[in-house]
Structure 1
Amino acid sequence: MELAFPEKPFKTHGGAHVPHRKNTAQMESAVMPPPTQVIIPMQQHVGAPCTPLVKVGDEVLVGQKIADSTAFVSAPIHASVSGKVRAVTQVMLSGGQYVDALVIDSDGEMKISPEVQPPKADTRESFLQAVRESGLVGLGGAGFPAHVKLKVSPDKRIDTLIINAAECEPYITADHREALENSWAVLSGIYAVKDMLEIERVIIAVEDNKPDVIETLRKMADNEKLDPGNHVRVLALHASYPQGAEKVLIKSCTDREVPMGKLPADVGCIVMNITSIAFLANYLKTGMPLIKKRVTIDGSAIQYPQNVIVPIGTPIEEVIRFCGGYKAPPKKILMGGPMMGIAITDDSLPIVKQNNGIICLDEEEARLHEPTACIRCGRCVSGCPMHLIPTMLEKYAEAKRVEELQEYSVMDCMECGTCAYNCPAHRPLVQAIRLGKALVKSAGGKK
């Protein structure tokens, strides 16, 4: 039986109406010149870190593989500039963990490695190997290795590919610009995945606050020459946070619910970020692995907000300097958006694969409200897309009650921040839930 396409999104639970602040949506992406030096961490994905394949003093070329791992859940890392390896050092990532990193002095010439060749990808196995060799991880922020996501167990039947172009975080417009600037690559990447995995239908999900993206992608999907089998449709979603979260997106597009502890593949779906799918098309055509990233630079402390395409490993401070520097002292710098982004201690950290935004806030915008007592209003519960009870999770996290944290499914929280945003008492709910997760993990009881 042929699968039908939804005419409108299905109803989802919870969420919040956050301010969009898509200040850079109509600005064409700027391309930053190569920096004088890049710092490339060996951990730029979920899973095992990579081990350097080069040593201090080695000359490297753009696209050359410089680090890899034998672990399945990992992804190789490539040189984003040509030049010489200056050092192997350690850097602290946004999550607080220290990892090894290669420091490369750029020669400014951006000489391309002879390794860069279009891959052979004419079978499912060779296609998955090509995806791995590209270094692709989830570019929407999750950083999950793409070849792992696409290697579906034989006992699971995938009938729906969902392309995530929701981009529901305030400020971030990197995917918006990808859709407008590389729409041809979006459809090409879609067909590569669809054909190799024998997927029946593809839904490109876009929030309705992006009418130009919806129009551009619909023109492409409705073109009989580009989509002769009519397998691809664009679905306009209601603009509501966190519409772009995987499980929320699957519910909006298919009315299927991913059970707690299960994955999208368990309900016949794969979700891929729109920039990830477009990159894949370019890689299959050129062989150039993941060495650059479009990043939204915005916030009240930035002189000239814009989307910038930068070599991976570029220090954040250099990207901000490219955007005119700070117009006010930054009180808070976020990797990612204000809802799920991580605050970093300084701007010397490098851009990594899963960065899609750097938001710099001045003192007024970064000001925190003093939390007050919970008034039992229930807004956190009604807003939680995962049907959790954040107040109980906060309570048991503070009391370090691991058994109760498991009972209330703390590990199913996706840390979207909707509960904290909706809370009139300004309770630090997400921080408490993160503490609760850490308690469960340290007790060896991850559920």
Structure 2
Amino acid sequence: MTQFTYAQWPLIGGIHPPEHKQASTQCPIQHIPLPAQLIVPMLQHQGEEAKPIVDIGEHVLKGQKIGETRAFVAAPVHAPTSGIITAIGQYPVDHPSQLHALCVVIEPDGHDEWCTHTGLDDYFSANARTLLALIREAGIAGMGGAGFPTEAKLSIHHAIDIVVVNGMECEPYISSDDMLMRERAAEIIEGARIIRHILQAKHIIVGIEDNKPEALMAMMTASRVDTCISVLATPTRYPSGAARQTVYLLTGRETPAQGRTTDVGVFCLNVATAVAVYRAVALGEPSISRITTVTGLGVHKPANYEVLFGTPIAHLLAQADYQPARSTRLIIGGPMMGYTLPHPHIPVIKTTNCVIAATAQDFPPTEPEMPCIRCGDCVPVCPVNLLPQQLYWFSKSEQFEQAQQHHLADCIECGACAYVCPSNIPLVQYYRYAKGVIADQQQEALKSERAKLRFERRKQRITQEEAEKEARRKAKAEAAATPLTTTNHQAPSDGKSLMIAAALARSNLKKAQKKLTVAQANQESTEVLEAEIAQLAQEVKRIEAELQPPP
């Protein structure tokens, strides 16, 4: 039996729930026929939603861009097959919120005709900017669950010396990455080497749990093309597949609480993302499909299927011989961090790695929640070294400040604490509730701060405007009070000019007299105004005297 090289750093905490991977790994990756329609969401990633750049009735080719965005954290969307655009509108999508999102509906023409696409023959000679542009144009987003646009993730300013390829797949039902490593190991390795070339890193470490011996062997064989690649086995323990836990297991480097793995010189990506990178750079293919596990006792043909994005989950389930009468619910993702699907007409997207047709035998009815008995079983299984029991009390009693002080934000919501709780307390739900309230409070505080800043700026602007207005008033008053000089009367002393000057002088005199009246009514000092009026009166008399005809 082959001896695998094990990573030397142990996982902190964690659990080992019963595995259910064998059912979906008995056959190779399956291909499915085209559905009657593809509902392609414009938001299949974190960040800004793409905008459709096609019209209803337009014929598109496979791989043609149908959604575009220029935001930094975003990714374009491509047609998964050739066909006609039949609708553009709001449809339910794969998201825990169960909200609708903008989608482009394609009716396949059955030809599956590609648009023109070419890759790079010698991609290791290309510079990082060229490769990043290809990755962005391909619309690649992380396929391990987070869905963060890969090009944006690669645009970092930290020095990276290790690229970690995450093949852990620690959820007990999911096996899509396992089968991908078994069948397409060479593509994974090439994708990782492209990432290393972009980041100018030194080493590649592939991490795989030891319950996947076939995948370990395939990846070890493929890695022989490069002496700077290590394939390490790790003990099977959930949640070893979380990025921070993976990086610690394989490198011993601890990611800061509020930081990222790149802060410690490690770039981490999923094996499916590595394949997408390879196909985008070497073949010029955009990201239009993924491997998805369909399993659970509610299907007769559990397997891993290559699925086009936009394929309704009902169509995927039909290929696995779905038995709706037996299934109690559909779960997207694994049982630990997944969520219940409201209905099967939701489309597959870039992060849909698993669909579980669960039965009562798979997941018996949840026992009622009981009071906490303070057993402390939740503490040793926390992979982040938190105090789940204290966080529970603070969250339940809405002592959110104390929850923050106990590092609630560091919780990765893996559910290990809830899994071992003898009182069946849904601890993660309490944590999510507290996080949501804290986020709302922080948002309101931010809004208040912005409103205060806007008020202060408005107040400052009004004060400045009043000061400028007063300065203009004083300047005008001083100008009016200044006697006309000889220079001012060097212009021709014709009757018309004198009449205008007289009218202006009389107008200034009346204004000054009105100001004097107001000042007297307000019991203000009037000395300056009285002097101004006297001077203006003399000016009026002088001009009127000039207007008198000579004797």
User: TM-score by structure 1 length?
Assistant: 0.94
Aligned to 1:242: 239
Compare 390-399 and 7-16 and name the one that shifted more: 390-399
Q: Structure 1 residue 117: deviation in Å?
A: 2.5
The structure 2 residue matched to 1:410, chosen from 400, 408, 426, is: 408
What does residue range 123-138 of structure 1 map to in structure 2 within 5 Å?
A: 123-138=127-142
Counterpart of 2:84? 84
1: distance between equivalents of 2:229 and 2:391?
Answer: 41
Aligned amino acid, residue 235 of structure 1: L
> What do the CA deviations read for 1:221-278 (whole angstroms, capped 9, x no partner)?
2x3xx11xx1001100000000110111111011111111000000110111011112
Equivalent residues in 2 for 1:23-422, closer than 5 Å: 23-93=23-93, 94-96=95-97, 97-114=99-116, 116-118=117-119, 122-153=126-157, 156-221=158-223, 223=224, 226-227=225-226, 230-326=227-323, 328-366=325-363, 367-422=365-420
In structure 2, the CA distance between the partners of 1:293 and 1:377, relative to structure 1 (3 Å rule), is same
User: CA–CA distance in 2 between the matches of 1:214 and 1:188?
Assistant: 16
The AA in structure 1 aligned to 2:45 is H
User: Separation in 1 of the partners of 2:250 and 2:31?
Assistant: 34
Counterparts of 1:92 and 1:438, CA distance in 2:
23
Residue 331 of structure 1: CA displacement?
A: 1.3
Match of 2:482 in 1: none
Residue 7 of structure 1 and its aligned partner are, at CA, apart by 5.5
**1:23-47 Cα distance to aligned partner (Å, 9 max, x none):** 2224201101111101011111111
Aligned partner of residue 307 in structure 2, secondary structure = strand
Deviation readout 1:43-67 (Å, 9 max, x if unpaired)? 1111111111112111111101111
SS at match of 1:385: coil
Cα offset for 1:400?
2.9
Contact 1:405 1:440 (C-alpha < 8 Å) held by counterparts: no
Say if 1:328 and 1:362, in contact at 8 Å, map to a contact too: no
Report SS of the residue matched to 1:419: helix
Cα pair 1:34 1:310 within 8 Å, conserved: no
Q: Deviations along 1:81-128, whole A, 9 cap, x unmatched?
A: 2111111121233222321111111111111112x2226961111111
CA distance in 1, matches of 2:341, 2:91: 12
Does the CA contact (< 8 Å) of 1:163 and 1:273 recur in 2?
A: yes
Identical-residue share of aligned pairs (%):
32
Equivalenced residue count is 434
Within 1, Cα distance between the matches of 2:91 and 2:194?
36
CA distance in 2, matches of 1:292, 1:311: 4
What is residue 3 of structure 1 aligned with on the other side? none
CA contact (8 A) 2:69 2:75 kept: yes
Give the CA deviation at 1:401. 3.0
Instruction: Tell me the CA shift for residue 327 of structure 1.
Output: 6.4
One-letter amino acid matched to 2:154: L
Question: What is the rounded CA distance, in whole Å, between the counterparts of 1:15 and 1:363 in structure 2?
Answer: 26
Q: 1:98 to 1:397 in 2, by over 3 A?
A: farther
Task: Identify, as 1 or 2, the structure richer in strand.
Answer: 1
- 8 Å Cα contact 2:168/2:209 also seen in 1: yes
Q: Could you say which residue in structure 2 is the equivalent of 1:439?
A: 437
Q: Distance in 2 between matches of 1:260 and 1:205?
A: 22
After TM superposition, the structure 1 stretch with the greater mean CA deviation from structure 2, 312-321 or 6-15, is: 6-15
1:13 corresponds in structure 2 to 12
Does the residue aligned with 2:45 lie in a helix, a strand or coil? coil
CA contact (8 A) 1:180 1:216 kept: yes
Tell me whether 85-94 or 425-434 shows the greater mean CA deviation. Answer: 85-94
Give the structure 1 partner of residue 461 of structure 2: none
Deviations 1:288-322 (A, max 9, x none): 11111111000111121011111110000010111
- Structure with greater proportional helix content: 2
Counterpart of 1:164, as a letter, is N
Alpha carbons 2:6, 2:232 under 8 Å: kept: yes
Residues 297 and 305 in structure 1, CA contact (< 8 A), matched pair in contact too: yes
Task: Supply the distance in 2 between the matched residues of 1:192 and 1:443 (Cα, whole angstroms).
Answer: 43
Does the CA contact (< 8 Å) of 2:26 and 2:303 recur in 1? no
Where 1:90 maps in the other structure, the secondary structure is: strand
What is the one-letter code of the residue matched to 1:344? L
Q: What does the per-residue CA deviation read over 1:367-400, in whole Å, with 9 as the maximum and x for residues that have no partner? A: 2121111111212121111112222223232333
| Letter matched to residue 17 of structure 2 | V
Query: Could you tell me whether the CA contact under 8 Å between 1:302 and 1:328 is conserved in 2?
Result: no
Alpha-carbon spacing, 1:438–1:360, altered in 2? closer, same or farther (3 Å): same
Greater length-normalized contact order (CA 8 Å, ≥ 6 residues apart)? 1
Distance between the aligned counterparts of 1:81 and 1:400, measured in 2? 50
Measured in 2, the distance between the counterparts of 1:110 and 1:15 equals: 45
CA-CA distance at 1:406 after TM superposition: 1.8
Structure 1, unmatched stretches of 5+, are: 1-5
CA distance in 2, matches of 1:313, 1:7: 39
Structure 2, unmatched stretches of 5+, are: 447-551
Report Cα offsets for 1:337-388 as digits up to 9, x if no partner: 1111121111110001111100111134332121111111212121111112
Q: Is the 8 A contact 1:65 1:78 kept in 2?
A: yes
What CA deviation, in whole Å up to 9, does each residue of 1:192-215 have, x standing for no partner?
Answer: 111221111111000001111111
Distance 2:207 2:337 in 1: 20
Is this contact kept in 1: 2:292–2:355, CA < 8 A? Answer: yes
Distance 1:112 1:416 in 2: 40
Higher alpha-carbon deviation: 299-308 or 323-332: 323-332
Moved more, 74-83 or 359-368: 359-368
CA RMSD of aligned residues (A): 1.7
